[in-house]
Amino acid sequence: MKYDLIIIGGGPAGLTAAMYASRYKLKTLLITKIPGGIATTAHKICNFPTYEDISGFDLMKKMEEHVKKLNAEMIYDEVIKISNKFKVKTAKGKTFEAKKMILAAGTERKKLNIPREMELLGRGISYCGTCDGPLFRNKNVAVAGGGNGAVTTALLLADYADTVYLIYRGDKFRADPVWLSQLKGKKKIKQIFREDIAKLEGEKFLEAIELKSGKKLKVDGLFIEVGAIPDQRLISQLKIKTDSKGYIIADKQQRTNINGIYAAGDITNNSLKQIITACGEGATAANSAYQDLNK
């Protein structure tokens, strides 16, 4: 049996795409590893319009319930094989076929891979300055990383926090000149090079970090900005164009270079990776699929 549309990924982009596809009466299947995607791990979301303060878990649960009310078919499984014109095989051994496909599988944030990193997530550890920065007003925080993500996060945090330790294992930040010139004026930001974070301390919440050199820093927050990558296992099976960082290149209608494949949300080369932008892109992708199906 052939679907009109298969959506891979059940975060904000995938769920909104399913919502719109259902309302366009497309025969739609959504396949997702975890319901809600990575957004469920955000401990506090204050910037999804109409919700001043909600957990990622609660917000994504509401979104998923909305999709279920629209009778979209949704399975919890992982796509392990994907081929053009468009067949997928899942980890649970099922195969499905569709006329169109939306890739909305998001990214995985790179981790520091140190003890207690996951345990303290949402208890001082964060992967999103835009989301959680305002929580650290007048506190001391650290940022791990040296690219655009780390430097812009440090700059943003300097608007709230008293001190921002920007900790990078390299000799020189890899960020754009525009951000580096900004750094100079910011006395709140203490730059630390050739260091790694070795240990996290604190009982229920993060209280301090210990560097490889043995130096200890008292901080309430640690923003890990060492990069994110879309799942290359699926992308590499398609001849789909990505940018130099591995993100799928999508146009304003969320079309990719492959006819019939659309991409939405964090997996794409969009300029802002937020829940609300992912939702908008999901809706647009579903609309483009609907338009193309009717051609």
What are the residues binding its own copies (CB under 8 A)?
12, 15-16, 19-20, 23-25, 46-47, 49-52, 59, 62-63, 65-66, 69, 130, 133-134, 155-156, 159, 178-179, 182, 251-253, 270-272, 274, 276-281, 283-284, 287-288, 294-295
**How far is Cα 37 from Cα 141, in angstroms, rounded to an integer?**
27
Cβ-based nearer residue to its own copies, 52 or 203: 52
Q: How far is CA 293 from CA 5, 24, 31, 74, 248, in A?
A: 9, 11, 20, 21, 22
**How far is Cα 14 from Cα 52, in angstroms, rounded to an integer?**
23
**How far is Cα 153 from Cα 125, in angstroms, rounded to an integer?**
13
**How far is Cα 155 from Cα 159, in angstroms, rounded to an integer?**
7
Q: How far is the CB of 265 from its own copies (least distance, A)?
A: 10
Q: How far is the CB of 78 from its own copies (least distance, A)?
A: 23
Cβ-based nearer residue to its own copies, 34 or 293: 293
Cβ-based nearer residue to its own copies, 125 or 285: 285
Cβ-based nearer residue to its own copies, 47 or 213: 47
Exactly one of 4, 46, 77, 131 is catalytic; name it: 131
Comparing CA positions, the residue from 117, 55, 110 lying closest to residue 275 is 55
Exactly one of 4, 128, 196, 243 is catalytic; name it: 128
Exactly one of 46, 53, 77, 132 is catalytic; name it: 132
Q: How far is the CB of 246 from its own copies (least distance, A)?
A: 18
Secondary structure class of 275 (helix, strand, coil): helix
46 is catalytic: no
Q: How far is the CB of 191 from its own copies (least distance, A)?
A: 18
Cβ-contact 102, 10 below 8 angstroms: no
Cβ-based nearer residue to its own copies, 121 or 156: 156
Q: How far is the CB of 62 from its own copies (least distance, A)?
A: 4
279 is catalytic: no
132 is catalytic: yes
> Residue 157 is encoded by which pair of tokens?
């945090």
Helices (H), the chain: 12-23, 56-69, 129-132, 148-157, 177-184, 232-235, 275-293
Active-site positions read 128, 131-132
